Structure 1
């Protein structure tokens, strides 16, 4: 049998270049582990409530409608296998017992199609389920299916409900692939919302008023606007700082057993239950999986549905920021607004919306930023560290040729503002729509006598002296921040180091490099919720899924020497966590020197007892040798941070314990950590060895 191949697009983490990698089926799809491990498949399969609800609903549907089942977006084939088992248990004869195509599963994503083949084979269901590598829109009755389906099962849902295209998919299926009275699992869905006040959330939206209070001279709000869309955020982490302004209200109803409309409008009337400023609408959905509505799944926040508090990352509530300055509301006041949906999204519209100060003169080139980025730009700690470093560099009226090599608009603006004699060149490779003239006008409007600024449309390794007016660079700047790397591991931003190295011939011998050092830090932690969502699969509702663990990057009970990958997470949104050590320094990256492979070994002492699930990793940035403050990017409990950390989950959790003696803390458990940063690949490898430790009484602890 001919082996299948996949062309997989990969971004070189140190150069930013895209490349295509050929992955063969014979490689067990292992070449795609880096990308599939970042998906939500493993988290979904570890969601036992979801699995049980879908199986019960599928069984109920097939008890009354035994016949042809169509599974759209089959994934690993779990829903198809549930349907196969339900058909075998049917008390009513099949509608077409002569058909050998009772279950058709379509999966358009080739890596998942190949994986589903392995899972079906492992469970002895390859002949019972017809697996088709097609999108549902390409299926044809009479070719891919003997007859239209009696039952449709699907789970193409995201946190907004609509983002994976369930509306156009169902429109096509009802018209072309299903019988007129076919049942659909899930049967119905409802979207709900609630107006809330939350300063922690609002700081991720309102840069204009944040800057008006800071008054530090750095004006960034005209360069940033938050997208008017649903943002997926684990709001349960902010529950203590959220004040509800209204009771929950219904936004939309969807009946999936019928052809859903492409567009819809809902007029919402709701009364305030307290006075306050509504900063956002938190939205969630409720699925009724069966016709009776007995099998239910919801993404509601915990203060609405405390029975559904278990943490999962694949579906979570959404935040939609109220426009302008928020909505000031009096207790018992009636509030009226609308909700609109199209085929893949929905939004809210207030009739009395007015142009806000911060959006009045926005040009088409102004980038739409994530809430986390806006929150960082408004962080007083971050801004003061950046500005102190800039003042240290541009402290005298010298001639500066400054090059910003990443996507940092703040450093571009600050460099142009700090010196009238500076010539500032900026790459901004992830912001190609930025126009130099518009950016210069923005600088001119904010500062008196700013330096000159120019955007260069080239990669770093393509630059010549002609691009920077024949002068060597004496100030090289980066945050580092690359738009394309926002969801990647922290050390992907060491692309700055590679680019600094490629520019060596253009740098003055006394060039100032900012940041001049990166410090890789770590912390051992308890991460119960994240561990449960990432743990290795054995049987899911009785179906063997052990072949997916390697591809999905699972942790727990893995065969030696296989280990789970390091994955990017915003730890403050990862449910229950507890620090078991102080933050420790692993290695330094000397960015003023050419890039090199770095190795380090450290011994770490446990400071708190608990169950250690893994190590959290991040990079702190030292901008200037004479400035004590660093840019700290590590976790801060459940306080929002604006960076992702890297999380290395162990093969198995390790119980650790620290003992308190009368006169000092006796750290009775330690571990050795070895780390290697590979300058060729940009990858970081770490190895952790827990040591046998002895209690002061002589008893051996954990190994």
Structure 2
């Protein structure tokens, strides 16, 4: 008899298949058909709406429609972007990500839009997410490297690798805390290191603020990893927006900060300290009430600074800030007016000008020479709020500097001594091994002023707008002052007679300033980027282009029936005189891609001064609506005789989408026409360089001051170092230069996308980096190099995350890869295969700029 207590088993019934909904299916079918038809008609907005309806109703179609949906989204986003409909653009991306939340291509594309619109932190999050979804996604990798350079600037690595700087800050903080300053605010905390030093020294309360969202999140990670999450409160805001008791429970007794740049005040330290003294800090120690303890008074680390400066001669600075040549190729530049860089302390400088640039003087190609002894330009006490408040209204200080050496006056170089307290200080001088560069104030004149012992420089120092401004306003010789500034006033600022021109100055004083140029540049003035001025000063570059153009146009004219005119298109980035060089030849119509009206005006002046007919030069971008139409024909019946492509960025990387542009350009050439350049050969060599390592990542296995920081900030390590001066790089060369890759812009079949290069090691050492540069071939016989003394280009280098120990005579295998104009390089010993020592060089990392 069966067990009566046994319950019958429940049998799971198969669920009934969902009923077919003919009406729903019909709607999906019609919407999909409408989406495809609208896409065919280039009605991307309507196509996008139909795709959204289709895929929301029928998710099963996602895989089928993914590529078409992506294409539609990207095209519609481009239209919305061009119309300025930013909110609609991001709404579309949000809708797309609801459908495809793990689509790395859509995530990356949204990051690109965010970056271009200035939302760098948000863009970084999308690029990082895209890489997590697909770690080998090259576009996301390149974009993340680019954003990493913006979000975590390279000087963070240099600072953390600067052991002397770290130790002295730690000592000053320890001393202050032990003396009774136990409540601390770290302004601009970065990685949180100074705040952690304060807590480690015994501070009872530590607060920190950071404006950058990325650095704020990084600081939170670092502080938590070091067990201080409950001890240090970090807020994501500017210190000048902080209030008591909203952001701080009470005023603190110590502010620590390192918000100083090469020009001392450029990161806003004056504004932040004035606000801190009025709102966040306890009152300073007072002589009227010496009985107050350290815990009842406020103080700042650093306590103050002393600024020094000297006049220097430096050809590298000169060629980046003023025109040094009178012609480019066979084109006279005399009609251009005064061309100068945007770095100027002149009272007439516009808002876009910067008072100084920064350089590491010890690494400038060609070096520099001091023309005067260093002088003390300024002294500032950060613990004196009245002095801080009076800085901007302080009277201009004037100095007279005796010239100690003969040379061309090119710039004033400035550095400072940062006084952390009475015992600890840091110097940013050019002879110091420091993480700081020096501030450079170039002399903006139209001529080279040679000074000699016995001369005197008159210099003015001011702090207008809390920026340090230093100007050399006059050269004094034999009691006569000659102004270095272009001024319409009747007398020079130095009180002496104003020289109306250099020629007049020499006429008045036969022996004075003997090296001054006597050419007249007219009354026009135009601001060019430093790299554009260096390009104009690159004589070999323009001579080479001139010869190559001559050869090409002559060969086309002699090769058959007369074709008048010949069409030349220059799509160089920025200011370029190459179209004018072509237009000077008879029977040529040249098209320039220069966009700025001021630059177009200068080119028209140059055209007039060089006898170029008015209709021989046109500005092509005035006639096109978007960048995608730049490479087009001048009219339906004509093809280009020459198309000039800008192939290499100034920083040393191949330009984004170069090969795609070359492919399009080849289709638009007439028989016998050429792309300039014709091909590019990439060269590189093996080096050992601790300098490149320290500028690329936090080095060493030991924690920084005992804190675990490196694993977190090194997430933002980028594998390529740009704006490199290989001629002055501190390194040991481990091989001879070798050819890495050839990009043939006239024949895509001759361009290989992958090469394995054997490199013979000539010296034993640690292989830490592979610097690379380019030989740019205009034709078979004429070429220019990006690695020469007069080059306006810099070089770049792949930095290996894990250096390789190599010995003389052995072979290193370099894997060189090309993907969409992006070059990557891997390194391993012969026979080992590509291992963890390899890192990528993302030559298109600047594509987002």
* TM range, smaller chain: 0.7 to 0.9
Distance 1:119 1:7 in 2: 30
Is 1:369 the counterpart of 2:481? The answer is no
Counterpart among 60, 63, 76 of residue 178 in structure 2: 63
Q: 2:135 is matched with which residue?
A: none
Distance 2:113 2:160 in 1: 28
Tell me the secondary structure at the aligned position of residue 181 of structure 2: coil
Counterpart among 451, 458, 473 of residue 640 in structure 2: 473
Counterpart among 716, 732, 753 of residue 598 in structure 1: 753
Tell me the secondary structure at the aligned position of residue 646 of structure 1: strand
> Any residues of structure 2 matched to 1:310-325 within 5 Å, and which?
310=433, 312=435, 314-321=436-443, 323-325=445-447
> Any residues of structure 2 matched to 1:348-497 within 5 Å, and which?
348-351=471-474, 352-355=483-486, 360-363=522-525, 366-370=526-530, 372-395=531-554, 396=557, 398=563, 399-407=565-573, 409-428=575-594, 431-434=595-598, 436=600, 438-449=602-613, 451-457=616-622, 458=624, 459-463=626-630, 468=635, 471-480=638-647, 485-487=649-651, 489-491=652-654, 493-497=655-659
TM superposition shift of 1:463: 4.5
Distance 1:653 1:358 in 2: 55
Is 1:339 the counterpart of 2:461? The answer is yes
Higher relative contact order (CA 8 A, sep 6+): 1
Q: 2:807 is matched with which residue?
A: 657
Q: 2:313 is matched with which residue?
A: 197
Q: Would the alpha carbon gap of residues 436 and 410 (structure 1) be closer, same or farther in structure 2, given more than 3 Å must change?
A: closer
**TM-score scaled to structure 1, two decimals?**
0.81
TM superposition shift of 1:281: 1.4
Cα deviation digits, residues 166-195 of structure 1 (max 9, x gap)? 222222222222222121111111221111
Distance 1:528 1:418 in 2: 50
Counterpart among 226, 239, 262 of residue 136 in structure 1: 239
Deviates more, 1:136-145 or 1:402-411: 402-411
TM superposition shift of 1:574: 6.1
- Contact 2:443–2:472, Cα closer than 8 Å, also in 1: no
Counterpart among 617, 632, 635 of residue 785 in structure 2: 632
Q: Would the alpha carbon gap of residues 79 and 474 (structure 1) be closer, same or farther in structure 2, given more than 3 Å must change?
A: same
Distance 1:401 1:585 in 2: 34
Supply the RMSD in Å over aligned alpha carbons.
Answer: 3.5
Q: Would the alpha carbon gap of residues 318 and 337 (structure 1) be closer, same or farther in structure 2, given more than 3 Å must change?
A: closer
Distance 1:145 1:519 in 2: 59
Counterpart among 655, 670, 689 of residue 811 in structure 2: 670
Q: Would the alpha carbon gap of residues 224 and 113 (structure 1) be closer, same or farther in structure 2, given more than 3 Å must change?
A: same
Q: 1:301 is matched with which residue?
A: 430
Q: 2:495 is matched with which residue?
A: none
Counterpart among 171, 175, 184 of residue 300 in structure 2: 184
Tell me the secondary structure at the aligned position of residue 125 of structure 2: strand
Q: Would the alpha carbon gap of residues 318 and 463 (structure 1) be closer, same or farther in structure 2, given more than 3 Å must change?
A: closer
Counterpart among 380, 383, 391 of residue 254 in structure 1: 380
TM superposition shift of 1:617: 1.7
Distance 1:611 1:515 in 2: 36
Bigger radius of gyration, 1 or 2? 2
Distance 1:193 1:341 in 2: 15
Counterpart among 675, 678, 681 of residue 516 in structure 1: 678
Q: Would the alpha carbon gap of residues 522 and 472 (structure 1) be closer, same or farther in structure 2, given more than 3 Å must change?
A: same
Q: 2:733 is matched with which residue?
A: 579
Q: Would the alpha carbon gap of residues 339 and 469 (structure 1) be closer, same or farther in structure 2, given more than 3 Å must change?
A: farther
Is 1:283 the counterpart of 2:414? The answer is yes
Cα deviation digits, residues 387-433 of structure 1 (max 9, x gap)? 211222233484211111122533444444442322222223xx434
Counterpart among 43, 49, 56 of residue 164 in structure 2: 49
> Any residues of structure 2 matched to 1:25-44 within 5 Å, and which?
32-37=144-149, 39-44=154-159
TM superposition shift of 1:568: 1.1
- Contact 1:520–1:587, Cα closer than 8 Å, also in 2: yes
Greater percentage in strand: 1
> Any residues of structure 2 matched to 1:87-106 within 5 Å, and which?
87-88=202-203, 102-106=205-209
Tell me the secondary structure at the aligned position of residue 643 of structure 2: strand
Distance 2:659 2:598 in 1: 24
Greater percentage in helix: 2
Q: Would the alpha carbon gap of residues 631 and 27 (structure 1) be closer, same or farther in structure 2, given more than 3 Å must change?
A: same
Q: Would the alpha carbon gap of residues 36 and 86 (structure 1) be closer, same or farther in structure 2, given more than 3 Å must change?
A: same
- Contact 2:173–2:198, Cα closer than 8 Å, also in 1: yes
- Contact 2:753–2:817, Cα closer than 8 Å, also in 1: yes
Distance 2:826 2:757 in 1: 11
- Contact 2:188–2:258, Cα closer than 8 Å, also in 1: yes
Deviates more, 1:325-334 or 1:609-618: 325-334
| Gap regions ≥5 residues in structure 2 | 1-106, 133-139, 285-297, 345-354, 475-482, 487-500, 502-518, 833-849
| Gap regions ≥5 residues in structure 1 | 89-93, 95-101, 303-307, 554-563, 659-667, 694-703
Tell me the secondary structure at the aligned position of residue 548 of structure 2: helix
Distance 1:110 1:7 in 2: 21
TM superposition shift of 1:464: 8.1
- Contact 1:417–1:447, Cα closer than 8 Å, also in 2: no
Counterpart among 219, 223, 233 of residue 333 in structure 2: 219
Q: 2:123 is matched with which residue?
A: 21
Tell me the secondary structure at the aligned position of residue 530 of structure 1: helix
Q: Would the alpha carbon gap of residues 11 and 571 (structure 1) be closer, same or farther in structure 2, given more than 3 Å must change?
A: farther
Q: Would the alpha carbon gap of residues 322 and 452 (structure 1) be closer, same or farther in structure 2, given more than 3 Å must change?
A: closer
Is 1:156 the counterpart of 2:259? The answer is yes
Tell me the secondary structure at the aligned position of residue 326 of structure 2: helix
Aligned residues, how many?
Answer: 629
TM superposition shift of 1:270: 1.9
Cα deviation digits, residues 553-595 of structure 1 (max 9, x gap)? 1xxxxxxxxxx61221313476412322222111111212469
- Contact 1:7–1:23, Cα closer than 8 Å, also in 2: no
Cα deviation digits, residues 374-398 of structure 1 (max 9, x gap)? 3342233222222211222233484
Distance 1:150 1:501 in 2: 65
Distance 1:597 1:461 in 2: 26
Q: Would the alpha carbon gap of residues 10 and 643 (structure 1) be closer, same or farther in structure 2, given more than 3 Å must change?
A: farther
**TM-score scaled to structure 2, two decimals?**
0.68
Cα deviation digits, residues 202-253 of structure 1 (max 9, x gap)? 3334424x336x8843538648412324222221135975332211011122
> Any residues of structure 2 matched to 1:525-604 within 5 Å, and which?
525-537=687-699, 538=701, 539-553=703-717, 565-572=719-726, 575-593=729-747, 598-604=753-759
Q: Would the alpha carbon gap of residues 466 and 602 (structure 1) be closer, same or farther in structure 2, given more than 3 Å must change?
A: closer
Tell me the secondary structure at the aligned position of residue 175 of structure 2: helix
Distance 1:402 1:411 in 2: 13
Distance 1:200 1:566 in 2: 24
